[in-house]
Amino acid sequence: MERLPGFRDFYPEPLPSHDAGWSFDARQYIFDKWRETARRYGFREYDGPPLESLELFTTKSGDEIVGQLYNFTDKGDRAVALRPEMTPTLARMVAAHERNYKKPIKWFAIPQLFRYERQQKGRLREHFQFNADLIGETDPAADAELIALLIDTLRAFGLTKEDFVLRLSSRNAWHEFYETGRDGVSPSQKTDEYDFFQTIDKLERTPPQESETKLAALGFSLADVTQFIESGKPTVELQSILDNLAARGLREFVKVDYHVIRGLAYYTGTVFEAFDAKGEFRAIAGGGRYNNLVKLISGGRVDLPALGFGMGDVVLLELLRARDLLPKFDATTDVYVLIEDEPLRAQSLKLTQNLRAAGYAVDYPLTPTKSDKQFKRAQELKVGYTARVESDDYVRIRNMKTREEVVAGFADVANHLG
């Protein structure tokens, strides 16, 4: 029986046959760094259900998203979907209990997310994502705090400014450009502005002639748009974020880049994406302000400004591997108890129990095993020490690195382990 296409098995350590290097070890390493950085920034972890009502996702993203979802009708006739993203769940949870929390709310999660796109052969249908959000503060200081978290998260993996860049942009800047450019042409319409944003979003992947035509239909010229992007002039809001980041010593990781506008309709202000500096990979992370979402999800009951970002495990792992920044994950067994004299097995089990109770990771041969095989096993497990019960009262301890041996009293073994 096979696993479903697009899903990953996480074996404890990388398999020789797994080029991609997926393993539980690597996954846990990434999760630990995410958690540790979030902790330093005062973000608290939450989680929601992996299955939600379909409506939660269509309310945010429109019915088009259904084509990309793992959605189905459950046995109670509910339209449900495996979560494709975390933000709608977060908005639902915050709206349900916002009065319990002082603002700003600083939360993060590490959900597994699911997408089903039929044509995407060979592409993953699930991934894990570090989601950090800051809710209840409109000031750009909040944007700076969240972006600083994103930068320091990548730095926690050993990535430097030679490895990645955060491209900072703003829907507000583009809105202003749109409003100004349309002066005297026609009254702006919301759908028009959305089309305009979509055209900007696709600019880098579209032939210039095509963009020119699309922009002309909206009352703009490609030359003006290109000039605006190339000026890279920060708005007052972006300048405030840049100054804030400069005070932290993080200015060099950020570049104003108005190419970034992000396709999702719901962003309302600052938007940003992190890329590897060489441009070899897809975006490492992306996010921005979504000041209207909590209101939308709560049916107007709760109105809170918010912003957040998501960072997936897949591109990040690829980048860390390419930059040789994944550590070697060694097994964590501390002691191997050698049992060479079967009458001493009971006493050896007692020693095993005592050392485990003292916090050591301990293994031993479950059944009678030849001495050399036991020693080989201890070496495979890369243990720091072996311990052999010599009598009810004494234990011979061997430091596997220094090869030094000592004989210790039975109750005294832990004192000889480093």
* Least distance to a copy of itself, CB of residue 307, Å: 12
* Least distance to a copy of itself, CB of residue 222, Å: 38
Give the DSSP letter string of 285-320: EEEEE-TTHHHHHTTTS----EEEEEEEHHHHHHHH
* Least distance to a copy of itself, CB of residue 311, Å: 18
Sign of CA dihedral 268, 270, 166, 260: positive
107 vs 174 by CB, closer to a copy of itself = 107
Which DSSP helix (H) or strand (E) runs through 394? strand 394-399
Query: How would you classify residue 228: left for phi > 0, otherwise alpha for psi between -120 and 50, otherwise beta?
Result: alpha
130 vs 258 by CB, closer to a copy of itself = 130
Q: What are phi and psi of 392, to 5 degrees?
A: -60, -20
251 vs 259 by CB, closer to a copy of itself = 251
Both tokens of 205, joined, read 């992947």
71 vs 211 by CB, closer to a copy of itself = 71
Q: How far is CA 49 from CA 89, 93, 110, 296, 297, in A?
A: 8, 11, 12, 20, 16
- Pairing between strand 71-73 and 79-82? antiparallel
Rounded distance, CA 107 to CA 46, Å? 7
* Least distance to a copy of itself, CB of residue 40, Å: 4
* Least distance to a copy of itself, CB of residue 50, Å: 7
* Least distance to a copy of itself, CB of residue 168, Å: 17
Q: What are phi and psi of 48, to 5 degrees?
A: -130, -175
279 vs 359 by CB, closer to a copy of itself = 359
111 vs 286 by CB, closer to a copy of itself = 111
* Least distance to a copy of itself, CB of residue 177, Å: 28
Quick one: how far is CA 401 from the chain centroid? 37
> Are the C-beta atoms of 412 and 354 separated by less than 8 Å?
no
209 vs 332 by CB, closer to a copy of itself = 332
